[in-house]
Amino acid sequence: MTRTTCPYCGVGCGIAAQADGRALTLQGDPAHPANAGRLCSKGGALASTVGLEGRLLHPMIGDRRAAWRDATALVARRFRETIARHGPDSVAFYVSGQLLTEDYYAANKLMKGFIGSANIDTNSRLCMASAVVAHKLAFGADLVPGCYEDLDLADLVVFSGHNAAWTHPVLFRRMEAARQRGQRHVVVDPRRTDTAEGADLHLALKPQTDVRLWNGLLADLLRRGAVDRAYVAAHVAGFAEVEAGLAGDDQSVHAVARDCGLDPAELETFFRLFADTPKTVTLFSMGANQSAQGVAKGLAILNAHLATGRIGKPGACPFSITGQPNAMGGREVGGLATTLAAHMDFDPASRARLQRFWGAPVMAEAPGLKAVEMFEAVRAGRIRALWVMATNPAVSLPEAGKVREALAACPFVVVSEVMAETDTAAFAHVRLPALAWGEKDGTVTNSERRISRQRPLMAAPGEARADWRIVADVAEAMGYGEAFAWRSPAQVFREYARLTAYENQGRFLNLSPLAALTPDAYDALEPVQWPVTPAGGTARLFADGRFQTPDGRAHMHALEAHGPAEATDPAYPLSLNTGRIRDQWHTMTRTGLAPELCRHAPEPFVEIHPDDAAPLAITDGRLTRVQTRAGEAVVTARLTDRQRRGSIFLPMHWAAAYAPAGQANPLVAARTDPRSGQPEFKHTPARVRPYRETWRGFFIAREAWSLPAGLDLVWRRIPQAGCQLHEFAGRGDEAERAALRRALARAASEDVLRYEDPAAGAVREAWLAGGRLDRVLFTAGAGALPPRDWLVELFAGESLDAAARAGLLIGRAPGRPLDTSPVVCACRNVRASRIDAALAAGCADLEAVAETTTAGSVCGSCRPEIVRLIAARTVAHAA
Ligand SMILES: Nc1nc2c(c(=O)[nH]1)N[C@H]1C(S)=C(S)[C@@H](COP(=O)(O)OP(=O)(O)OC[C@H]3O[C@@H](n4cnc5c(=O)[nH]c(N)nc54)[C@H](O)[C@@H]3O)O[C@H]1N2
Ligand SMILES: Nc1nc2c(c(=O)[nH]1)N[C@H]1C(S)=C(S)[C@@H](COP(=O)(O)OP(=O)(O)OC[C@H]3O[C@@H](n4cnc5c(=O)[nH]c(N)nc54)[C@H](O)[C@@H]3O)O[C@H]1N2
Ligand code: SF4
Ligand SMILES: [Mo]
C-alpha cells in the first residue's frame, strides 16, 4: 500500500492505494487526519479514471508528435523572441490549484524572477482571490486561522455560500457526526441545497445581500452587548470606524430581513444563536468569494468573528475553505499575479530579498494581470505568448466565448495537460504531456494548512513528465539552467521551505524545519500543518491574539452593503447562479470518464422555481434556453422549490466535449470584484425561454461521437459502461433528420434493423456488426422515446440473443418492467424506486435504508438525498 492524497477537493483526504499496472485498488487512509479513512464518491471512483483513455502521452507540435527536445526548444525560443521584441509583459502563464506545490513554485520562479514579469495568475483567482484579499486586509497576510478539529468542536457552524454536502463531503460527514452531540447548522444560501435541507436553519437570502446580513448581525451583537470588548481592546483595530459605519443604515432586524428577503423571525433566530454560541465556526466558500463584493463579504464575516473574539480558539474561527487540492499551496508559493512567493508582496524589501535568494537577473516590479484581465490582454494582442498549465480556461473563465476568441487569436499557446483533447488544448500550438494523479510526486496543502504528499502509484505512461520538470527544462532552454537544476521534487520542496525561513522577520508562513529534509524524509513526510516549528505543526493561528500586521492587531473594516439592485437588467429579470454538482469535478476531463459519476446528474440542467417557469410555459424536463447578454445555453429544465423565486442555477461542469449547448460560462458576465479581481460567477442577469424542438432522439455507440458540421442540433454525451449515449434535439424538419442519419450511416456490409413511422416522425435503427450491437439511433417527433437503460446494457454484452434482437427496436426487453426513477446512490447504483420500496417495507431511517438497499453505505454523499426521500414519504403519509 502507498499512502497518497486525493487529487480533487481541498479537504485533502488521505488515500491508501495499490496499483497493478494501471489497475488500482484504493481506500481512505485511516491514518490521515483529514478523513480518517473516509472518501466521497469522487475519491472513491479514482480507479475508474486512471486509465490511459484520452491521455496526452507525447509532446505535440500542432498535430504532429514531437521529441521533448524539440518541443521544449520551440517553447523557449518563442517565449524568448516575444520577450525580446515586446518586453516581458507580453507573455503570461495561467496556472492552477491542481498543480503540486513544487510545480507551482517552479512556474512562479521562472516568471517573476527570470522572465521578470508578474503575468502569472492562477485559476485560484476564480476561487480564492476574494478570501486572500480579505485575509490580508484583516490579518496582515493570507492566513487561514482554523483547522478541521474546530469543525468537530464547534457548537454552531454557519455555512455561508457553501454547499459542503456536495463540495466537501468528507468534512460534511465529520460535521454530521458532531450534530449527533448537538452541533447546530445554519446555511446562508439562496438555494435550498443538500447542505441546507437538513440544517437547523436555512436563510435563503436574496442573491448578493450577504454584506447586509453580516453587518446586521454585527449591529445586533452590539445591541445585545455580545461584543467581546476585552478582546477587541487588546487585539483589534478599526472597531470604532466599523461601529460608526453601521449607523449609516437602518440595522433593525426588520430592515435587514426586508433587504435580504428573509423572514424576520428566522433572522432573529440566527442572530440569537450566533450571539449565544461562543464556539462558532463560519465556513465561507464560493457564495461569498465569487462576487463583485467578494472581499467585502469575506471581511463582513471576519468582522463578526473579530468583534466576538471567536478566532484562534478551539471550535471558533472564520474558515475560508479551499476548493482545489492545492489552492492553498499555490497561495504559499505566490501563484497569484498579486503576490510574490512565501507570502511576500511587491514592496522593495521583499523584492530585493527574493531576488537575492533566487540569484535572479530581474524581478517583477509590480503585480501582473489577474486572470480575467490576462485573457482580455490576450484578446487585445498585448499578450502574445501564453502557457496554460493544469486548467481549462476555455470552459471555466467567465464570458467563455471571448476567452475562446482570445485563445484563437494568440500567436503562441502552450498547454501542459494530462488529457489530449480539452476545450483549451484545442487552441494549443504546443501540447506538453504532464504526469497525472497516481504518477506525479510532490506535495499539496489542504484547507487547514496541512501539507500532505501525493506519491506515485504507477509508472509514467508514454513520455509524460512532471509539471515542475517541464518548466525547469524550458527555463534551462531559455538560458537559466543553473537556477532550475533540480533533480527531484524533494530538491524543489527544500528550496521552497528554505525560502519561507529566509530573512523571516515575522512572516507566519514558515517551514524551516523542513528545509533540510533528506530525500528519504521527504518520501516519508507525514501530513503536517504550517507554520512548522521544531516542535511540529500548528493547528490554530492567532491563539495568542497576535496577527501579522505591523501593529500586531487584526483590522476590522467598515463595509458598505450593496444590494442585488446594483446588477439587474429589466430585459433579463432573473439572477443566474452557477456552481457545482455532487459527482462531477469542474470541466469533467477526469470525472467524465467514470460512468458511475455521470449517473446522478447525467445531463446539463437549469433549476428554476415553478412560479417563474409557469408563465413562460416551461415544464419539468423540457429543453429550455437560458439567455444573458453574453450568450445562450440550451439545457433541461428542473422545476424545484429548492430554488429561490427570481434565481436560476446552472451547473458549471459541462464542456464542449460533453454538451456544446450546455455550457454555463459563455453566459456568465465578466464582472469582477474591484479589489480581488474575482469574477461574479454567482450572479448574471438572465432570462429563460422554451426551446421548442420539433424532434428529439438519441444515438448510442461504442465511441464518443461529435456532431457533424452544418447541423444545428442541441446535443450532449453521457458516458456509460461500455458505450456512449448521445441525446439530441433539433428544430428542423425531416431533411434535418435525414442529414443526421446520413452522417451516422457507415459501411454497407453491416446488418441494419430499421423501423419507420413517418407520420410520427419516428425512425429507429440498429446497426449490428459481427453479431454485436454496434450503434442505435432513435428519433421521434411528437411521440415518446423509450428509456435508454436496456439498450445501453446490450452494448456491454458480447452478442445479441434472439429475444434481445426482437426487443431492439422497441427499446426494451420483452416482459421486463422499466425503472426510470433517478439514481440516488452513485457508488452502488441504487435508484429512488428501490429506496421507496425499502421505505414502504418498513425501513424508517437512514441506517435501515443503507442496510437494506446498500444506498449511502459507501461514500455517504447521497445521504442527504435519502433523508429527503424519507421526509417526503413521512409528509405524504401524514397528509
Ligand atoms: N463535487 C464537487 N466538489 C467540489 C468541486 C467540484 O467541481 N465538484 N470543486 C471544488 C472547488 S475548486 C471549489 S472552489 C469548491 C466550491 O464549493 P462551494 O462553494 O460549496 O460550491 P458552489 O456550488 O460553487 O457554491 C456554493 C453555494 O453558493 C451559493 N450562492 C450563490 N450566490 C450566493 C450569494 O449571493 N450568497 C450566498 N451566501 N451564497 C450564494 C450557491 O447557491 C451554492 O450553493 O468545491 C470543491 N469541491
Ligand atoms: N460558472 C462557473 N465557473 C467557474 C466556477 C463556478 O462556480 N461557476 N468556479 C471556478 C473555480 S472555483 C475553479 S477552481 C475553476 C476550475 O476550473 P478549471 O481549472 O478550468 O477546471 P478543471 O477541469 O479542474 O481543469 C483542470 C485541467 O487540468 C488537467 N490536469 C489535471 N491534472 C493535471 C496535472 O497534474 N498536470 C497538468 N498539467 N494538467 C492536469 C485536467 O485534465 C483539466 O483539463 O472553475 C471556475 N469557474
Ligand atoms: S472529500 Fe472527496 S473529493 Fe474531497 S479530498 Fe476527500 S475524497 Fe477527495
Ligand atoms: Mo475552486
**How far is ligand 1, taken at its centre, from the CA of residue 287, in Å?**
6
Task: Please state, in angstroms and rounded to a whole number, the distance separating the CA atoms of residues 47 and 677.
Answer: 37
pLDDT (tens digit per residue) in 621-660: 999 999 999 999 999 999 999 999 999 999 999 999 899 9
Question: What integer is the mean pLDDT of 599-609?
Answer: 92
Mean pLDDT is highest, among 326-330, 703-707, 734-738, for 326-330
**How far is ligand 1, taken at its centre, from the CA of residue 578, in Å?**
8
Question: What integer is the mean pLDDT of 298-316?
Answer: 98
pLDDT at 701: 92
pLDDT at 565: 54
pLDDT at 639: 96
Task: Please state, in angstroms and rounded to a whole number, the distance separating the CA atoms of residues 2 and 452.
Answer: 13
Cell numbers for 496, please give them.
521552497
**How far is ligand 1, taken at its centre, from the CA of residue 301, in Å?**
17
Q: Which pLDDT band, with edges at 50, 70 and 90, does 748 fall under? A: low
Q: For the chain, what is the mean pLDDT?
A: 94
- pLDDT greater than 90 at residue 753: no
Whole-prediction pTM value?
0.95
pLDDT at 566: 61
Torsional sign, CA 780, 782, 786, 789: positive
Residue nearest to atom 42 of ligand 1 (CA): 191
413 bridge partner residues: 386
- What is the residue-wise DSSP string for 675-720? TT--B-TT-EEEEEEE---SEEEEEEESS---PPTT---EEEEEEE
341 in Cβ contact with 106 (< 8 Å): no
Q: Which of 42, 148, 167, 586 most suits a substitution to test ligand 3, by most atoms within 8 Å of the C-beta?
A: 42
- What is the residue-wise DSSP string for 586-600? TT-TTGGG-GGGGSS
pLDDT at 213: 98
Q: Comparing C-alpha atoms, which of 237, 192, 247, 187 is closest to residue 215?
A: 247
H, E, C per residue of 812-863 = CCCCCCCCCCCEEECCCCEEHHHHHHHHHCCCCCHHHHHHHHCCCCCCCCCH
Residue nearest to atom 2 of ligand 3 (CA): 40
Task: Please state, in angstroms and rounded to a whole number, the distance separating the CA atoms of residues 549 and 95.
Answer: 29
Any ligand 2 atom below 6 A from CB of 127? yes
Instruction: Return the DSSP state at 198.
Output: T
**How far is ligand 2, taken at its centre, from the CA of residue 599, in Å?**
21
Residues flanking ion ligand 4, Cβ below 5 Å: 127, 323
**How far is ligand 3, taken at its centre, from the CA of residue 39, in Å?**
6
Instruction: Determine the atom of ligand 2 nearest the C-alpha atom of 290.
Output: 7
- pLDDT greater than 60 at residue 129: yes
**How far is ligand 4, taken at its centre, from the CA of residue 380, in Å?**
27
Q: Comparing C-alpha atoms, which of 492, 453, 455, 490 is closest to residue 472?
A: 492
**How far is ligand 3, taken at its centre, from the CA of residue 556, in Å?**
34
Question: What integer is the mean pLDDT of 491-507?
Answer: 97
Task: Please state, in angstroms and rounded to a whole number, the distance separating the CA atoms of residues 110 and 469.
Answer: 12
- pLDDT greater than 80 at residue 772: yes
How far CA 609 is from CA of 345, 603, 643, in Å, comes to 46, 19, 5
Any ligand 3 atom below 6 A from CB of 6? yes
pLDDT at 841: 87
The number of the ligand nearest the C-alpha atom of 29 reads 3
| Cα angle value 38/44/45 (rounded, 5°) | 170
- pLDDT greater than 90 at residue 525: yes
319 bridge partner residues: 283
**How far is ligand 1, taken at its centre, from the CA of residue 160, in Å?**
10
**How far is ligand 2, taken at its centre, from the CA of residue 396, in Å?**
7
- Residue that has been written with the C-alpha cell 524572477 in this structure: 113
How far CA 628 is from CA of 406, 655, 676, in Å, comes to 20, 18, 24
Domains parsed from the chain with CATH numbers: 28-124+328-529 (3.40.50.740), 129-320 (3.40.228.10), 574-690 (2.40.40.20), 695-807 (no CATH), 823-878 (1.10.10.1100)
The proportion of the chain whose per-residue pLDDT surpasses 90, expressed as a percent, equals: 79
Any ligand 1 atom below 6 A from CB of 161? yes
The number of the ligand nearest the C-alpha atom of 324 reads 1
* 696 phi, psi to nearest 5 deg: -135, 165
The number of the ligand nearest the C-alpha atom of 683 reads 1
Question: What integer is the mean pLDDT of 457-485?
Answer: 97
| Cα angle value 487/491/496 (rounded, 5°) | 140
Q: Which pLDDT band, with edges at 50, 70 and 90, does 865 fall under? A: confident
Instruction: Determine the atom of ligand 1 nearest the C-alpha atom of 42.
Output: 1
Any ligand 1 atom below 6 A from CB of 582? yes
- pLDDT greater than 90 at residue 210: yes
Instruction: Return the DSSP state at 746.
Output: -
Question: What integer is the mean pLDDT of 191-202?
Answer: 96
Q: Which pLDDT band, with edges at 50, 70 and 90, does 828 fall under? A: confident
Q: Comparing C-alpha atoms, which of 482, 483, 406, 386 is closest to residue 86?
A: 386
Q: Which pLDDT band, with edges at 50, 70 and 90, does 749 fall under? A: low
454 bridge partner residues: 442
Question: What integer is the mean pLDDT of 88-98?
Answer: 98
pLDDT at 797: 80
Contacts of 815 (CB under 8 A, 6+ apart): none
How far CA 295 is from CA of 229, 310, 321, in Å, comes to 25, 20, 15
Question: What integer is the mean pLDDT of 497-525?
Answer: 96
414 in Cβ contact with 477 (< 8 Å): no
Contacts of 411 (CB under 8 A, 6+ apart): 82, 384, 385
Any ligand 1 atom below 6 A from CB of 163? yes
Element (H, E) at 756: strand 751-757
Contacts of 225 (CB under 8 A, 6+ apart): none
Q: Comparing C-alpha atoms, which of 745, 742, 710, 713 is closest to residue 728?
A: 713
How far CA 481 is from CA of 102, 131, 472, 714, in Å, comes to 17, 36, 8, 50
The proportion of the chain whose per-residue pLDDT surpasses 70, expressed as a percent, equals: 98
H, E, C per residue of 435-472 = CCCCCCCEEEECCCCEEEEECCCCCCCCCCECHHHHHH
Q: Which pLDDT band, with edges at 50, 70 and 90, does 796 fall under? A: confident
- Residue that has been written with the C-alpha cell 439511433 in this structure: 777
Task: Please state, in angstroms and rounded to a whole number, the distance separating the CA atoms of residues 398 and 670.
Answer: 5
Least confident of 84-88, 708-712, 867-871: 708-712
Q: Which of 172, 286, 568, 596 most suits a substitution to test ligand 1, by most atoms within 8 Å of the C-beta?
A: 286
pLDDT at 623: 95
Any ligand 1 atom below 6 A from CB of 586? yes
629 in Cβ contact with 359 (< 8 Å): no
Question: What integer is the mean pLDDT of 295-304?
Answer: 98
* The CA-based dihedral angle spanning residues 119, 124, 125, 126, taken in that order and rounded to the nearest 10 degrees: 140
- pLDDT greater than 60 at residue 402: yes
The number of the ligand nearest the C-alpha atom of 321 reads 1
Q: Which pLDDT band, with edges at 50, 70 and 90, does 682 fall under? A: very high
pLDDT at 803: 83
pLDDT at 290: 97
pLDDT at 742: 82
Any ligand 2 atom below 6 A from CB of 416? yes
Any ligand 3 atom below 6 A from CB of 474? no
pLDDT at 759: 78
- pLDDT greater than 80 at residue 708: no
How far CA 115 is from CA of 356, 372, 407, 433, in Å, comes to 16, 21, 22, 23
pLDDT (tens digit per residue) in 546-572: 999 999 999 999 999 876 556 688 999
pLDDT (tens digit per residue) in 229-277: 999 999 999 999 999 999 989 999 999 999 999 999 999 999 999 999 9
More confident residue, 208 or 148: 148
Any ligand 1 atom below 6 A from CB of 40? no
Residue nearest to atom 33 of ligand 2 (CA): 390
**How far is ligand 2, taken at its centre, from the CA of residue 437, in Å?**
14
Task: Please state, in angstroms and rounded to a whole number, the distance separating the CA atoms of residues 568 and 669.
Answer: 12
Task: Please state, in angstroms and rounded to a whole number, the distance separating the CA atoms of residues 36 and 837.
Answer: 33
pLDDT at 564: 59
- pLDDT greater than 90 at residue 844: no
